[in-house]
Amino acid sequence: MANVDYQNSFILILLVCLFSTFFFLFVYFFKKPNNVSDLPPSPPSFPIIGHLHLFFSTSLHKSFQNLASKYGPFLHLRVFSLPFVLVSSASITYKIFKDHDVNISSHGPVGLDDCLVFGSSGFITAPYGDYWKFMKKLMTISVLGHQAMQRSQGVRVVEVERFYRNLFDKAMKKESVEIGEEATGLVMSILGKMCMGRCFSEDNNEEKVSKINAEFAALTQKIFLARMLCTPLEKIGISPFKKEVMDASNRYEELLESIIVKYEEKVDENDGNEGMDILLAACRGENAECKITRKNLKALLAELFFGAGDTSSTTTRWAMAEIINNPMIFERLREEIDSVVGKTRLIQETDLPKLPYLEAVIKESLRLHPPGVLLPRQFEQGCKIRGFYIPKGTTLVINAYAVMRDPDAWKDPDEFKPERFLGQEEEKKENVLKFLPFGAGRRGCPGSNLSYIFIGTAIGVMEQCFD
């Protein structure tokens, strides 16, 4: 009898354990947010994984665009129990930035914590708060603000001339030119010197940083997926793409550490005004409202180099491809540049405000070929948008690629027509927010002015001097 009781208790305990496990799995994987009926519409999904399969397409932004044309521009997706909202239209993007900018002013979960670019020590992934505000101020004073930009203007003049001479030499030797590589070289030399002065170009650092940036650019979609999917996947012991990304990250960190050490060794040769001196002083805690670590400093540099380099060179390459394929645009651009700059000197950044057609060509290239196709943010608070409920903590993904080709917002959305940016129409607020290559709102790109300078002068030189 005692034996039977023992068996019964054993079976009972086993059943309780099994039931609890199933209950846990059910709650974890099938859990749906409250107010399900108020959520935006959702395309069909699989049990447990939800819409995970959608995230593994090779061109995620194009798959998301197709999804939107089938199911609508405002969708609710789920990966295991993690909720996403996917936005693909200009009108909803406008509504979100107009009414909820503060609520979405963080870029969301980090994913690969230790990674130098997009990791937890960085600026891009920092939540909107004191640390982010302090770093933004530091970045403005040291590199991107008006005074810092004036201080570094001479560096850009010299580097644009070097860019021209390099292309000219290759042309004389009848060597081929890879425009993306040349543009990356220009951006890296300028930005490196804006941050660290002449010392940056020793040891071929431009090339070394450009090479690692290119590796990171190739890993962007994987980093995006790791950021989006890490929370549910890590809970079941999977860390997607971690090894690959961390390998590139560790090499980036070593390279930056060696560049900083070299800079520190020669600190007496600098005039104390380089962006780097300001950043190092903050690192030592001198006059700083907020102390930053060496890793914070390297992460900021990596994000600046990565944020500026690949994006600006990709845009230059796309713009030149569009210009070369459209001889009328090529001619019109050359006429504009010749009439403002003349034929006796090279274009300079101070000419750019007088060259509206050049700016329109750059904008049209950014519209059709944005380097950042998906913009991730996070809803800090629950809110209502267009009558739908968005729960707190939901990840927002704005498909900038789809928004900038939205047929309800752009006439002939797939055609390259720079003229569309010459009219007054584009200045209206709702129209400004349909043009998203630099994101928008508080967390929009702080480097947009600098990138117009990089791209404008590079294209200007090629237009002026080469057929």
Distance CA(354)–CA(136), nearest Å, equals 30
Of 45-53, 160-168, 211-219, 432-440, the window that binds ligand HEM (rule: CB under 6 A) is 432-440
Q: Segment 340-359, which members bind ligand HEM (CB under 6 A)?
A: none
Q: Which of 220, 238, 217 is nearest to 229 (CA)?
A: 238
Please give the annotated binding residues for heme, written as ranges.
445
Cα torsion 359, 362, 364, 366 to 10°: value is -130
Task: Calculate the alpha carbon distances from 193 to 76, 151, 216, 252, 379 in Å.
Answer: 45, 11, 22, 18, 38
Binding-site residue set: 445
**Residue 119 or 447 with smaller CB distance to ligand HEM:** 447
Which positions from 159 through 198 interact with ligand HEM, judged by CB under 6 A?
Answer: 191
Interatomic CA distance for residues 83 and 32, integer angstroms = 9
Q: Which stretch binds ligand HEM (CB under 6 A): 195-203, 260-268, 407-415, 434-442?
A: 434-442
Nearer to ligand HEM, 249 or 315 (CB): 315
Among 93, 296, 315, 394, binds ligand HEM (CB under 6 A): 315
The stretch near ligand HEM (CB under 6 A) out of 309-317, 322-330, 379-387, 401-409 is 309-317
Of the pair 249, 365, the CB lying nearest ligand HEM is at: 365
51 vs 377, beta carbon nearer ligand HEM: 377
Q: How many CA atoms lie within 13 A of 465 on its CB side?
A: 22
Residues of the chain by 3-state class (helix, strand, coil), percent to 5: 65, 5, 30
Q: Is 279 in the site for ligand HEM (CB under 6 A)?
A: no
Nearer to ligand HEM, 73 or 376 (CB): 376
The one among 55, 252, 421, 438 contacting ligand HEM by CB under 6 A: 438
Nearer to ligand HEM, 183 or 283 (CB): 183
Give the pair of three-digit tokens for residue 436: 């998203």
From 109, 111, 232, 372, residue interacting with ligand HEM (rule: CB under 6 A): 372
Tell me which residue of 403, 369, 435 sits closest to 65, measured CA to CA: 403
SS3 96: helix
Segment interacting with ligand HEM, rule: CB under 6 A, options 73-81, 150-158, 223-231, 300-308: 300-308
Q: Residues 375, 397, 409, 458: which binds ligand HEM (CB under 6 A)?
A: 375
The sign of the CA dihedral 454, 460, 465, 467 is: positive
Smallest distance from ligand HEM to CB 457, Å? 13
Binding region for ligand HEM (CB under 6 A) out of 52-60, 83-91, 330-338, 446-454: 446-454
Phi, psi of 376 (to 5 degrees): -90, 135
Which residue of the chain is nearest ligand HEM when measured via CB? 439
Select the residue interacting with ligand HEM from 111, 185, 232, 447 (CB under 6 A).
Answer: 447
Other C-beta atoms closer than 10 Å to the C-beta of 388 total 16
Q: Which of 108, 185, 307, 460 binds ligand HEM (CB under 6 A)?
A: 307
Q: Which is nearer to ligand HEM, 245 or 375 (CB)?
A: 375
- Using CB under 6 A, which of 109, 371, 418, 456 touches ligand HEM? 371
Contacting residue, 440, 458, 459, 461, with ligand HEM by CB under 6 A: 440
Q: Is 18 exposed, middle or buried (0-12, 13-18, 19+ CB in 10 A)?
A: exposed
Q: Pick the binder of ligand HEM from 40, 83, 108, 437 (CB under 6 A).
A: 437
Token pair for residue 170? Answer: 């290759």
Candidates 354, 399, 344; CA nearest to 86 is 399
CA-CA-CA-CA dihedral for 18, 23, 29, 30, to nearest 10: 130
Cα dihedral 338→340→345→350 (10° resolution): -140
Query: Mask of contacts with ligand HEM, 92-121, x by CB under 6 A?
Result: ---------------x--------------
**Residues of the shown chain interacting with ligand HEM in the complex, contacts defined by CB under 6 A:** 107, 123-124, 191, 303-304, 307-308, 311-312, 315, 371-372, 375, 437-440, 443-447, 450-451
